[in-house]
Every structure is written in structure tokens, then in C-alpha cells.
Amino acid sequence: MPASFDLVMFDLDGTLIATAPEICDAVNDTLRRFEMPEVTQVNDWIGQGTHELLIQALAYVGGVAVADVRASSTLAAIAAEFDVHYQTRCGTRSQLYPRVPETLTALRGQGIKLAVVTNKEARYTRTVLDAHQLMPLLDWVISGDSLPTKKPHPGGILACLEKFGVANDRALFVGDSSIDVATARNAGVQVWALPYGYNMGQDIAASLPDRVISDCSALL
């Protein structure tokens, strides 16, 4: 590994941590508050950030277009309610994927810089990472609202390359979705993909990552 990469960047939801159950709980907490039907899963909406996920859920249960939800005068109040519930739910039913902390610890021991680049908003990102004790293993975290752009724009990856002084061919991005593959391609770095995450119900191999790996320990 040290001969190949100096920087490894990770997506968060569906890559390091399985977060869908508690996100679904927070969505349903919110829907109940506004006397709306509940949803059974949110997996297919994960990837663009939690605010966008909430919009998708509201469009689904309301049987309306996403554009109508975005234009709704009630969206701000619903989003504020969701914020309260998701902060409460963070860390309650999410789980680390196999071999994540051991792999991050081993990579750090080899002197490799580690970062997370996620579309999840920073206030949730930090809470989830803290809940699973991953923050001490990371050198930097870029969330969906850390920069003016978010994935698949390459800004987050490019910021990491600049911060750590690493060339594109010495960096790797690890994710679980077509968004992650596109982001890495846009930034000109290699991308390895995990098959168990949230890729909107699609086979990640169809996105043509450089490798599909069974779990994070393949990095070692």
C-alpha cells in the first residue's frame, strides 16, 4: 500500500458506516410529526446529502414532483424538524462496516493520510463519526456544506490533494456509488468501490471503478 498511495479518501454513508436505519428513523419521526405516511427504507435516496434525501422522501409519500417539494412553503419547517430528529438518532442504529477501524488504524500506521469526502452535512457528519470513534483516525473531513460544491464535483478531492501535497496518481478514493466513481474520475484519481453500500439499487460494477473490493481490508 505505501508504494501505491500517500492519501486515501473515503465516502461515509455506505462506505465506512451503514447509516440507513437511523436516517430512516429520523425521516419517519419527521413524517409522523406532520401526519404523513411513513417510509420503509431510504437506501435509494442516500448519496446527495440528507436535505436532498428528505426532499425525495417527501415527494414519495406525497405523490408529488420533487420540484413541488422544493418550492413548498412548508419545506423549511419540515427540514428543521428533521434536523432535530436526525441529531438525536445519529449513532443509535448505524454500524461500522467490517474491518473499518482496523484498516484505518493500519493505514495511519503506514503514514498514509486519511480523509472523508461526503455529501452529508457537516453537523451530521461529525456526530456520526464521533459516535463510532472514527474522528481520531482521520486527518481531514470535507462534508457536503464545507465547500461551495459537492460530489460529483471534484472540489472535495482536489482540496485534499492540495492540503496534503499529494499528486493525483498517489491518491485513491473509496466509495460505494456511481456518484463516488464520477467524483474520482472528475478529479483524476483512482477509485475503488464497495458493493454493499447505497448505489440507488444499482450494481456498482456498472459504474466501472478501477476495482470492486469486498471490504475495506482489501486496502491492506
Of the pLDDT bands very low, low, confident and very high (cuts 50, 70, 90), residue 127 is very high
Candidates 2.40.30, 1.10.260, 3.30.160, 1.10.150; correct CATH number of 20-89? Answer: 1.10.150
Could you read off the pLDDT of 12-33 as tens digits, one per residue? 999 999 999 999 999 999 999 9
Dist CA 12 CA 67 (whole Å): 27
Query: Is the domain defined by 7-18+95-219 classed in CATH 3.40.50.1000?
Result: yes
Higher per-residue pLDDT: 4 or 9: 9
Across-strand partners of 113?
A: 7
- Check: CB of residue 5 under 8 Å from CB of residue 171: yes
Report the pLDDT averaged over residues 184-192.
98
Which residues make up the CATH 3.40.50.1000 domain(s) of the chain? 7-18+95-219
- What pLDDT is recorded for position 156? 98
Catalytic residue among 11, 13, 176, 180: 11
pLDDT digits (tens, 9 = 90+) for 66-125: 999 999 999 999 999 999 999 999 999 999 999 999 999 999 999 999 999 999 999 999
Task: Give the pLDDT band (50/70/90) at residue 1.
Answer: very low
* pLDDT tens, position by position, 46-59: 999 999 999 999 99
Percent of the chain with pLDDT over 90: 97
The 3 state secondary structure assigned to 87-98 is HHHCCCCCEECC
Give 139-178 pLDDT, tens digit per residue: 999 999 999 999 999 999 999 999 999 999 999 999 999 9
Domain with CATH 1.10.150 in the chain: 20-89
Tell me which amino acid residue 6 is: D
Residue (of 177, 188, 190) closest to 219 by Cα position: 190
Apex 2 CA angle, 173 and 116, nearest 5: 30
> Residue 4: its pLDDT value, please?
86
Any residues with CB less than 8 A from the CB of 45 and at least 6 apart, and which? Answer: 52, 53, 56, 57, 200
Is 11 an active-site residue? yes
pLDDT at 200: 86
Among residues 52, 72, 47, the alpha carbon closest in space to that of 62 is found at 72
Do residues 21 and 45 touch, judged by C-beta distance below 8 A?
no
Q: How far is CA 120 from the centre of its chain?
A: 6
pLDDT at res. 2: 43
pLDDT band at 3 (very low <50, low <70, confident <90, very high): low
